[in-house]
Structure 1
Amino acid sequence: MTVTASSAPADIAPYRWRWVALFVILAAEVMDLLDALVTAIAAPTIQQELGGSESLVQWLGASYTLAMAVGLITGGRLGDLFGKKRMFVIGAAGFTVASLLCGIATGPEMLIAARAVQGLFGAVMLPQGLGLIREMFPPREMGKAFGMFGPVMTISSVGGPVLAGWLVDADFFGTGWRMIFLINLPIGLAAVLAALRFLPEYRLSNATRLDLPGVALVSVAAFLLIFPLIQGREAGWPAWTFVSMAASAVMFALFGRYESRRARSGRDPLVTPSLFRKRAFVGGLVAGLAFFSGLTGFGVVFSFYTQAGLGFTPLQAGLTALPQALGGVAGFGLAMAGLQEKLGRGLMQIGALVMAAGAAVLALTIHVSGVDVSAWQLSPGLALVGVGMGLTMAPFFDIVLAGVEPHETGSASGTLTGVQQLGGAFGTAVLGTLFFDLLADGWEFGASMEVTVWVEVGLLVLTFALAYLLPRRARPEQQPHGA
């Protein structure tokens, strides 16, 4: 079944398999979310078995998020050009094959490369699912359909680290950490077969060509920034690392100039240049970069600290992180109970301060308890971090996109999601490098973790301040009288 944009509402809305198709899409989301979570828990074990330096721990997450950040900007347009069902199937199949390559990796280089391939195919797969939901469901059922993402993502975020720790410790069939990737094989195969059977085809009749030079420029710019941040420490920070970071700034500037020229010539740019003339959107990008850098970087470092520093098993490390995940569920619940509409931007700022308070409690707990700190002692600080995380993330995308014009929404959403992933790679590079630098200088694990947590507090305070650049409410009707 193939439809164009003009016929979609009439032909797709009564599609009888739409709820089955929704679960196919949700299975793909679960694969992506679990893969983003489980490697942080398994990273120390992977490093011990495959060898490699501490940079392997950072690259396991950064290679995936960096590839996805670049791919997401153009992934949705591939579906418009070639068909959303076709690209979903290609993305899911590629993601599954890449998972197999991760599971049979014989060395650090192969594993990092396979993780990057996972990220690229994930960036092809995920936007198609969200687009298909909008076409398959009539307006009266759209809320229910998107509402299914909440429970699925919550269960995955809570259970992912625990599942990873259990799979590594259980060592099924002697696979050890490899099972966290191999478990994707049955899920991915089922998703591909079900997509071929149940997903309808949909593509735009007036889709524009891809901006391949723009993709190349932004990819090179991002790589030139992340690579030296991760590898520079082990190389002793030679001159090429600083040259690379300076070249990254130049490449980002060239990317912006190229996109402006492309837009002026009437061709469709990768990122709409007018977005960067909107203070709220630019402020949202910078705030998102600060927030997601700290959030992701902290997760990678904390997992390594609990296992290499405190001697926890992978399962114990996963259970230790559980209060943060449960706190996130509680924070989302509070936001959805009416706080988001009532407080708007203020909820983001309250969430950032709660997260900062939780991180401060965590740092003080580590300082006071030293190497004898237990998972129970860490749980209050982690729970507060989780609650603040839920409060901050719930209104974030809605508020940042509030001032965007309708014709800019697609580009703005892709850019914002891409920056979220780029922030993850950047935070893994910066906080991971700081932590491992301190260890290399002879600092103890506890002291190194303390400093890293205080940097996370600083990033959260920066997020709080940058939120003042955003609109007070996501929609005009939410503005209080007289505003």
Structure 2
Amino acid sequence: MRVREATRRDAPTGVHRWRWIALGALLAAEAMNLLDATIVQVAAPVIHRDLGGAESAVQWFSAAYTLPFAVLLITGGRLGDMLGRRRVFAVGTAAFAVASVCCALAPGTGALVAARTVQGAAAALVIPQTIGLIRAMFDGAEMAKALGTIGPVMGLSAVCGPVLGSVLTHAVSWRAAFLVNVPIAVLVLAAVPALREDRAAEPPRLDAVGTVLAVAGAGLVVYPLIQGDTAGWPLWTWGAMAAGVAVLVGFGFQQRRAARRGRGPLVEPSLFRDRGFPAALATSTLLFAAVNGLTVVIVLQVQMGLGRDVLSAGLTLLPWSGALAVSSLAAGARLVPRYGNRVLFAGLGVLLAGVLAAVAVYHWTRPGSYPWALPGALALAGAGNGLATVPFFTAALSRVRPHETGSAAGLLNAVQQFGGTLGVALLGSAFFHVLDVPPARTSLDAAQVAFWLAAGLLVATAGAAAVMAGARGRS
């Protein structure tokens, strides 16, 4: 249950206008998160060239943000239930702005990675509050209209992110790519008074033990994946990953025990009573590992492999982002309502075809040359990405019961971010491994290996999606 101020249908025009201004602030905060992630992916090689450090630092510039964002998303949502969503939203936005300034002023790689970690934690406070705040301000048809604006804004952000990041980095500095968050955050904070406070009537308890276990387990898995190749895969890397898996298993048992004792677990255990939802989590992890890892590899190959500038990398990614935005809108508006889950498998097929086309482009490109046919293959992959993503979330949440919705949505978002972090670690490490291990190989060879690995992840994604859809059909 939720206590919130009533939204009057006969509200004065001025009040009505302020509600839409407040919605603009919420959408700007959502866009800021996506822009920051894509901007840094494009700028990462330039940052590394400026600040120095090991090659693995390029992966950490992304992973240091997405890892805390993933594991703290559900906790951020709980804090909104407890303390008030508007308050937590404002604190998170302010912290994000301060962390962005620290990123822009970072004197070295370690300081930047630390600031990115704070950024990710701040984003985990901001993003879970937006839908709850929209529901607090709007009713009926207006609420549907307000929620419907999220998809187009996210699509536009996905298109603009690589271009904006490359233009800012090329024309000014990579530091400007972080400072662009500051004016957006200031405008969002200025509109916070227009938001209506919203909190749970019976605030849940904060599962501190579960949060610590989730953070520790995820960190122990991701850290050696990124550092392992640089360190030569010593024994401690394998021990750390094994320990991380053990901690995550312990997290599962701790969640069951907390639920039995009525202590408000982070994850609703009833979600795992059949294999449909666990299969959805596996599908999300594998899909976003492939997609996020590939975008990083593309940037690495163009900038660090071919020595091209950041603008070339941004423009190379543009066909992927543009096709993703268009296909997402088409899937949500027309295809999914008509064809259902078949769109998911068609999208995975198109995405896989785009990945294999990119492998062929890399294979036939002369060493040292730019792969001019690559944008076409990436447009195909982006179209498949958009077609697959929209029906996936619809299918994953279709069997979730009302009291499980918050936990399920938070867990799906968290797993999406965690999968993206794993993809950056896995595919990025594969790219650098091919370059570093004798005999000497070109960046085109390294990109081919990473894309083949992504193709394998997509085949596994289709298998997990089939289990998800099959479990749904038998229910």
Q: TM-score, normalised by structure 1?
A: 0.94
Paired position in structure 1 for 2:310: 314
Structure 2 residue ranges without an equivalent (≥5): none
Alpha-carbon distance between aligned partners in 2 of 1:370 and 1:39, rounded to the nearest angstrom: 29
Matched, 1:189 2:186: yes
For 1:58-457, list aligned pairs within 5 A: 58-171=59-172, 176-195=173-192, 197-371=193-367, 373-374=369-370, 376-441=372-437, 442-457=440-455
Paired position in structure 2 for 1:467: 465
Alpha-carbon distance between aligned partners in 2 of 1:373 and 1:334, rounded to the nearest angstrom: 35
Q: Decide whether the 8 Å contact of 1:345 with 1:473 is kept in 2.
A: no
Q: SS of the counterpart of 1:426?
A: helix
Q: Decide whether the 8 Å contact of 2:136 with 2:196 is kept in 1.
A: no
**One-letter amino acid of the structure 1 residue matched with residue 191 of structure 2:** A
Question: In percent, how many aligned pairs have the same letter?
Answer: 43
Q: SS of the counterpart of 1:203?
A: strand
Matched, 1:5 2:6: no
Residues 233-261 of structure 1: CA deviation (Å, up to 9, x unaligned)? 11111111111111011101111111111
Residues 351-396 of structure 1: CA deviation (Å, up to 9, x unaligned)? 1110110011111011111335546411210010010001001111
Alpha-carbon distance between aligned partners in 1 of 2:212 and 2:267, rounded to the nearest angstrom: 13
Q: Structure 1 pair 7/90, CA: closer, same or farther in 2 (3 Å)?
A: closer
Number of aligned residues: 469
Alpha-carbon distance between aligned partners in 1 of 2:371 and 2:22, rounded to the nearest angstrom: 41
Q: SS of the counterpart of 2:343?
A: helix
Alpha-carbon distance between aligned partners in 1 of 2:4 and 2:451, rounded to the nearest angstrom: 53
Q: CA deviation at 1:336?
A: 2.6
**One-letter amino acid of the structure 1 residue matched with residue 328 of structure 2:** F
Alpha-carbon distance between aligned partners in 2 of 1:93 and 1:303, rounded to the nearest angstrom: 30
Moved more, 286-295 or 343-352: 343-352
Alpha-carbon distance between aligned partners in 2 of 1:94 and 1:12, rounded to the nearest angstrom: 35
Q: SS of the counterpart of 1:208?
A: coil
Alpha-carbon distance between aligned partners in 2 of 1:373 and 1:131, rounded to the nearest angstrom: 50
**One-letter amino acid of the structure 2 residue matched with residue 124 of structure 1:** L
Q: TM-score, normalised by structure 2?
A: 0.95
Q: Structure 1 pair 282/13, CA: closer, same or farther in 2 (3 Å)?
A: farther
Q: Structure 1 pair 251/170, CA: closer, same or farther in 2 (3 Å)?
A: same
Q: CA deviation at 1:410?
A: 0.7
Q: CA deviation at 1:10?
A: 5.2
Residues 121-145 of structure 1: CA deviation (Å, up to 9, x unaligned)? 0010111122100111112112211
Q: Decide whether the 8 Å contact of 2:344 with 2:389 is kept in 1.
A: yes
Moved more, 225-234 or 367-376: 367-376
**One-letter amino acid of the structure 2 residue matched with residue 339 of structure 1:** L
Moved more, 14-23 or 154-163: 14-23
Q: Decide whether the 8 Å contact of 1:78 with 1:87 is kept in 2.
A: yes
Alpha-carbon distance between aligned partners in 2 of 1:13 and 1:262, rounded to the nearest angstrom: 45
**One-letter amino acid of the structure 2 residue matched with residue 250 of structure 1:** A
Q: SS of the counterpart of 2:400?
A: coil
Q: SS of the counterpart of 1:321?
A: helix
Q: CA deviation at 1:77?
A: 1.2
